[in-house]
């Protein structure tokens, strides 16, 4: 027992010393990112993307909770360590007031996507974030699924009806449902409803939320759901279920399919999202870099922001994170399989005759989360809870209307522009 | 040092520590549940919480899980502790093995059990491999809420019984052996010795273990999220969702206070049920 | 030999066997899931994804090597260890006196204090992290090993207080009083008589403190930047990681905690024989 006490005492002394010694250390520029979380991606960001930057960068990817909490704390304390932020368009809407104006940033010869630059103003007159990278959602399939494809269906111009039929055939012929949908807690299901299903059936994201067309859409989705793997409510990134072959056909974010493509490029294909009566709805995902007003070294942070927009950096980022460039670049031919497969699917999707691109929600401020929750709740009530479609749509439309009015957000594509808050008819 | 002041002196460090690092931040969060950003007092966040369509499900799931898991764990831990206390050889090894789950976080436990129960997991591999089923079964699908519930129960029992076990083992160690010897002399059987000596003398430890375990049970989340996805909403999951996804810290605080309230209610209940009358103390 | 005694030994044999079977079953119940985790860690990515799964490893070390080479794993491991040890020491130093006071004295506010202690465990930490982080940034505790250890101590304190409380309650007051009559003062009596008796229990709560700190992700992710701990480093990235890395990451986290419990087990368990006098 004496030795236990002695050891403990020695440990206390040693630890107190090391705690003191630790307080002094070199200041790296802290890149506080919500993207690039998977360990392999974080490693690639550090080794390949940020190693070319003149200063030394500490790339710290984080889960949404800690990411947000740390940022909020620094803003509230009025000082902090975060130099540069990396996050989705929707993550920034809450913090517009706390982000430094980047209008004067020198982007060099990078030709930045104009629409995305506009989104980066977050509805203000200042440039709140600089677009960093983009992605979208596509379909992916195991090649085994192709033999069950309905007759006459073109994989690159699929309709929702054909997808339902295909899923049904697969379920019947193989004995188990082979369509998978990311409906888990961390799955990106709400984007499917907002940017894919609604535009494809109603040519709207908000205005026609409770329309008759929307009712059709949800009933179609319920039909698709009956041939969907019931494990879907636990799926987050569909690459996992593709690789385990738990399912054969999936819908997901390109970055969440990348592992499957890279690991077994010959076994999988990527193809455009299906089309409905009002076209082939799809939606981009925009990730931006921003600088909080509390950044310790504003100059270094701005240098890093402009470095991220550099075409060469953008190509390295694409290899590391499977997110596509937001500036004009010439892609080299030696790109990873995921980039080639999903890149060509995206090109087919946006180039299709019936393409119906939507925009990301703008002007929602800190109600962005609640906006998405409306779609998630609608899904959970109608599809999982089996509630009446009409009644749920009416109830949720009320919530949606409140969100739009409270945020005073005008409509965005594909809804026609509105004076005042976007109406829910 | 006078006896009157000694207890307060002994409590001082812990109290100061908790005031500074718990009560102060807690007060700030709790205040949010009842006040708007502008500082206007309101009950609208409480209403918003209770009127959400998922509220009742989350509440009842959390309660049912705690009620289903904790009693099993108590009985199991008590059984394990009595076995261990009677062992003559190999006691250290067996106790070490049984306390292994102590070192495993809830996130890691969720990961392990998902790997077992997944459609392409080990249990299905076994069932198909032995020819019991010819197609892998989806245990964790949304139509099988009961199966998901049982899966979460299994994982929780596996993960968190060791906490109780360690407390009980340490408590049994303090029961004087003479009591058992005396009981044996008077011909008391094993069961009688257990109910007349072990249980009553173990009361302080039982109470502690039960309180801690119940409180942790109301905060269950990581394992539920891993195995149940969105199918089994629990209160803690709603806290996370409100705070980090919806960024509605007011309603998040309301949910957190509800968890606290339930925990305190159960704590007081357990304190009362397992109270040791003063005259019965050693 | 009478018939009666044969019956008794028969019953005893059955009882003994049923106990043995229970022991084996319970050991398997604990070990099999851990074994599956380890087996998967030492399998190649293709094998991890395959169905039906193999239950024995192929000793492929690719996944493990990935983590071993991962940027900063070494220093994160060391940070975790420092934070966990500090947490252990602080929670015992602050918690054990409180536990002793609760067990030996009747005083006003006793139950209030117990409820306060439990409240710390009943309130979700992720919400407390924000005000704590603001406070730490302002006073310079942000991004220090000590700061994180303080938060973890808040989490571990209920265990320390309540476990020591229940143990001190289990030690007869007469023992202490006997020491006093033999000329010890209160402190001496405590050190010479009570402390050795409850040492296993203190070790138990120390282990809790260590493990709680070791496995805590959220506060660690918010409050440490340069002094990142291992779980903050690994665990929250695991969700998005491919399956084989999930298993390897899980194993990387679990193994040190198991080694720690193994190393301190003798304080925890072998001493309670002595406690029985």
pLDDT along chain B (282 residues), means of 10: 78 93 94 91 92 92 96 96 85 87 87 88 88 85 88 95 88 82 85 87 87 92 88 92 89 96 93 72 48
| A41 and A104 housed in the same domain | yes
Q: Tokens 């419990």, residue? A: C261
Across the interface, do C97 and B14 touch by the CB < 8 Å criterion? yes
Q: Tokens 């903050």, residue? A: C232
At A112, phi and psi to the nearest 5?
A: -85, 140
A183, A231, A370 member nearest B230 (Cβ): A183
Contact C65, C248 (CB under 8 A): no
Task: Tell me if chain A has a CB within 8 Å of the CB of C228.
Answer: yes
| A293 and A402 housed in the same domain | no
Across the interface, do A176 and B237 touch by the CB < 8 Å criterion? no
What does the pLDDT look like over C152-195, one tens digit per residue? Answer: 999 999 989 988 887 788 777 888 888 888 888 888 888 888 88
What does the pLDDT look like over C72-106, one tens digit per residue? Answer: 778 888 999 999 999 999 999 999 999 989 988 88
| A254 and A397 housed in the same domain | yes
What does the pLDDT look like over B81-109, one tens digit per residue? Answer: 999 888 878 888 898 899 889 888 888 89
Q: What is the pLDDT of residue C269?
A: 56
In this structure, what CATH number is given to the domain that contains residue A292? 3.40.190.10
In terms of DSSP H, where are the helices of A228-336?
Answer: 239-244, 258-263, 298-309, 311-321
Q: What is the pLDDT of residue B138?
A: 84
| A184 and A264 housed in the same domain | yes
Identify all chain A residues contacting C222, using CB atoms and an 8 Å cutoff: 66, 69-70, 73
A65, A244, A381 member nearest B120 (Cβ): A244
DSSP class of A422: P
- Reading the block at residue A50, the tokens are 């940020």
Q: Which residue of A has its CA nearest to B137?
A: A176
At residue A30's C-alpha, the angle toward residues A25 and A31, to 5°, is 155
Cis peptide before C52, with omega less than 30 degrees from 0? yes
Task: Tell me if chain B has a CB within 8 Å of the CB of C140.
Answer: no
Q: What is the pLDDT of residue C45?
A: 83
Q: Where are the domains of chain C?
A: 3-62, 70-275
d(CA C225, CA C133): 12
Q: Which residue of B has its CA nearest to A232?
A: B141
Q: Where are the domains of chain B?
A: 23-280
The CATH class that applies to domain C70-275 reads: mainly alpha
| A130 and A143 housed in the same domain | no
Closest CA to B76 of B179, B156, B20, B135: B156
Q: What is the pLDDT of residue C276?
A: 39
Specify whether the backbone of C59 is left (phi greater than 0), alpha (psi in -120 to 50) or beta: left
Specify burial of residue A277 (Cβ count, 10 A radius: 0-12, 13-18, 19+): middle
At residue A273's C-alpha, the angle toward residues A64 and A161, to 5°, is 125
Superfamily designation of domain B23-280:
MetI-like (1.10.3720.10)
Integer CA distances (angstroms), A237 to A182, A186, B29, in order = 7, 8, 33
Q: How many CB pairs below 8 Å do chains A and B form together? A: 73
Identify all chain A residues contacting C133, using CB atoms and an 8 Å cutoff: 69-70, 73-74, 77
d(CA B69, CA B108): 19
Chains in contact with chain C (at least 3 beta-carbon pairs closer than 8 A)? A, B
Q: What is the pLDDT of residue A10?
A: 53
Contact A252, A135 (CB under 8 A): no
Q: Tokens 């379920």, residue? A: A171
d(CA A187, CA B229): 10
- Reading the block at residue A393, the tokens are 């749509």
d(CA C85, CA C153): 10
* C-alpha A359, offset from chain centre: 13
* Mean pLDDT (chain C, rounded): 83
Across the interface, do C130 and A73 touch by the CB < 8 Å criterion? yes
| A147 and A255 housed in the same domain | yes
Across the interface, do A234 and B144 touch by the CB < 8 Å criterion? no
Identify all chain A residues contacting C51, using CB atoms and an 8 Å cutoff: 244-246
Closest CA to B82 of B195, B1, B188: B195
| A155 and A257 housed in the same domain | yes
Instruction: Establish whether this prediction's ipTM goes over 0.90.
Output: no
Of A333, A363, A394, the domain-final residue: A333
The distance of B161 to chain A (nearest Cα, Å) reads 26
Residues of A near B (Cβ–Cβ under 8 Å) read 64-65, 68-69, 94, 175-176, 183-185, 229-235, 244-246, 366, 368-370, 372-373, 377, 380-381, 384
* Terminal-residue alpha carbon distance, chain B: 25
Q: What is the pLDDT of residue C203?
A: 79
Specify whether the backbone of C122 is left (phi greater than 0), alpha (psi in -120 to 50) or beta: alpha
Q: How many CB pairs below 8 Å do chains B and C form together? A: 286
Across the interface, do C167 and B124 touch by the CB < 8 Å criterion? no
Instruction: Give a yes or no: residue A11 inside a domain.
Output: no
Contact partners, residue A256, CB within 8 Å, separation at least 6: A182, A188, A236, A237, A238, A239, C240
Spans of chain A below 50 pLDDT: 1-2, 4-5, 13, 16-25
How many other CB atoms sit within 10 Å of the CB of residue B13? 16
Q: What is the pLDDT of residue C268?
A: 61
Contact partners, residue A319, CB within 8 Å, separation at least 6: A44, A48, A335, A336, A339
The distance of B144 to chain A (nearest Cα, Å) reads 9
pTM of the model: 0.87
Q: What range defines the domain where residue A175 resides? A: 136-284+354-407
Count: domains in chain A? 2
């Amino acid at each position: 027992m004496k030795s236990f006490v002695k050891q403990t005492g020695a440990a206390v002394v040693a630890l107190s010393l090391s705690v003191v010694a630790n307080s002094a250390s070199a200041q790296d520029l802290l890149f506080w990112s919500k993207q690039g979380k998977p360990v392999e991606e974080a490693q690639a960001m550090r080794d390949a993307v940020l190693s070319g930057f003149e200063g030394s960068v500490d790339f710290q990817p984080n889960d949404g909770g800690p990411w947000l909490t740390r940022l909020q704390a620094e803003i509230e304390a009025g000082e902090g360590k975060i130099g540069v932020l990396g996050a989705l368009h929707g993550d920034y809407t809450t913090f517009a007031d706390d982000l430094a104006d980047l209008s004067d940033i020198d982007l060099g010869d990078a030709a930045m996507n104009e629409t995305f630059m506009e989104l980066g103003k977050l509805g203000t007159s200042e440039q709140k974030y600089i677009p960093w990278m983009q992605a979208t959602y596509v379909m992916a399939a195991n090649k085994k699924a192709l033999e069950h494809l309905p007759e006459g269906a073109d994989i690159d111009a699929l309709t929702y009806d054909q997808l339902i039929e295909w899923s049904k055939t697969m379920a019947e012929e193989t004995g188990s449902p082979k369509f998978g949908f990311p409906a888990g807690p961390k799955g990106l299901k709400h984007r499917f409803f907002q940017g894919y299903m609604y535009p494809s059936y109603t040519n709207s994201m908000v205005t026609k939320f409770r329309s008759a067309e929307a009712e059709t859409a949800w009933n179609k989705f319920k039909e698709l759901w009956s041939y969907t793997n019931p494990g879907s409510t636990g799926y987050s990134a569909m690459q996992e279920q593709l690789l385990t072959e738990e399912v054969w056909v999936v819908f997901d974010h390109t970055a969440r399919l990348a592992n499957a493509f890279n690991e077994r490029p010959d076994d999988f294909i990527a193809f455009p999202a299906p089309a409905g009566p009002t076209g082939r709805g799809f939606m981009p995902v925009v990730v931006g870099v921003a600088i909080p007003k509390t950044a310790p070294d504003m100059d270094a942070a701005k240098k890093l922001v402009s470095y991220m927009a550099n075409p060469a950096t953008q190509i390295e980022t694409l290899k590391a994170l499977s997110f596509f460039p937001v500036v004009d670049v010439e892609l080299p031919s030696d790109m990873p399989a995921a980039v080639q497969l999903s890149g060509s699917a995206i090109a087919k999707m946006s180039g299709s005759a019936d393409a119906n691109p939507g925009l990301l929600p703008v002007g929602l401020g800190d109600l962005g989360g609640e906006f998405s929750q409306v779609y998630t709740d609608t899904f959970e009530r109608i599809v999982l809870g089996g509630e009446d479609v009409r009644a749920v749509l009416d109830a949720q439309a009320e919530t949606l209307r409140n969100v739009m009015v409270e945020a005073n957000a005008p409509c965005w594509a594909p809804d026609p522009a509105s004076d005042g808050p976007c109406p829910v008819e | 040092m006078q006896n009157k002041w000694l207890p307060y002196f002994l409590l001082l460090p812990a109290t100061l520590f908790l005031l500074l690092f718990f009560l102060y931040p807690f007060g700030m969060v709790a205040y949010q549940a009842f006040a708007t950003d502008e500082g206007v007092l309101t009950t609208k966040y409480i209403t918003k919480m209770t009127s959400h369509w998922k509220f009742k499900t989350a509440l009842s799931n959390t309660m049912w899980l705690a009620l289903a898991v904790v009693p099993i764990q108590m009985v199991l831990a008590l059984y394990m502790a009595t076995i261990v206390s009677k062992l003559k050889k190999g006691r250290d090894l067996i106790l070490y093995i049984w306390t292994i789950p102590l070192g495993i976080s809830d996130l890691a436990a969720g990961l392990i059990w998902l790997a077992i129960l997944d459609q392409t997991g080990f249990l299905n591999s076994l069932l198909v491999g032995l020819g019991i089923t010819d197609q892998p079964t989806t245990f964790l699908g949304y139509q099988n809420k009961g199966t998901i519930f049982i899966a979460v129960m299994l994982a929780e029992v596996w993960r968190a019984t060791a906490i109780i076990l360690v407390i009980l083992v340490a408590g049994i160690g303090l029961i004087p052996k003479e009591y058992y010897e005396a009981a044996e002399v008077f011909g008391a059987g094993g069961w009688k010795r257990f109910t007349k000596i072990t249980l009553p003398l173990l009361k302080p430890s039982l109470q502690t273990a039960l309180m801690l375990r119940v409180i942790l049970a109301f905060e269950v989340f990581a394992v539920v999220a891993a195995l149940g996805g969105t199918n089994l909403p629990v209160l803690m999951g709603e806290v996370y969702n409100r705070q980090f996804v919806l960024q509605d810290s007011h309603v998040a605080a309301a949910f957190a206070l509800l968890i606290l309230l339930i925990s305190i209610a159960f704590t007081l209940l357990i304190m009362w049920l397992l109270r040791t009358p003063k005259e019965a103390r050693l | 030999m009478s018939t009666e005694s044969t019956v008794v030994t028969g019953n005893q044999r059955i009882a003994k066997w049923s106990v043995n079977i229970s022991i084996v079953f319970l050991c398997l119940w604990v070990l099999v899931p851990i074994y599956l985790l380890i087996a998967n860690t030492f399998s190649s990515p293709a094998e991890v994804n395959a169905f039906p799964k193999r239950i024995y490893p192929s000793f492929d070390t690719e996944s493990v090597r990935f983590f071993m080479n991962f940027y900063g794993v070494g220093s994160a491991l060391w940070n975790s260890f420092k934070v966990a040890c500090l947490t252990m020491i602080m929670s015992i130093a602050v918690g054990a006196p409180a536990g002793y006071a609760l067990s030996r004295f009747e005083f006003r506010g006793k139950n209030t204090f117990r409820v306060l202690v439990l409240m710390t465990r009943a309130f979700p930490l992720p919400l407390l992290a924000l005000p704590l982080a603001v406070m730490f940034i302002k006073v310079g505790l942000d991004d220090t090993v000590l700061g994180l250890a303080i938060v973890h101590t808040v989490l571990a304190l209920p265990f320390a207080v309540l476990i020591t409380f229940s143990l001190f309650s289990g030690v007869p007051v007469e023992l202490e009083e006997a020491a006093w009559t033999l000329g010890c003062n209160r402190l001496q009596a405590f050190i010479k008589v009570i402390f050795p008796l409850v040492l296993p229990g203190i070790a138990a709560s120390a282990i809790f403190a260590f493990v709680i700190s070791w496995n805590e992700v959220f506060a660690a992710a918010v409050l440490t930047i340069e002094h990142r701990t291992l779980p903050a480093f690994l665990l929250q990235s695991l969700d998005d990681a491919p399956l084989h890395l999930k298993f390897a990451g899980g194993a990387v986290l679990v193994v040190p905690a198991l080694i720690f419990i193994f190393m301190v087990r003798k304080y925890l368990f072998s001493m309670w024989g002595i406690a029985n006098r």
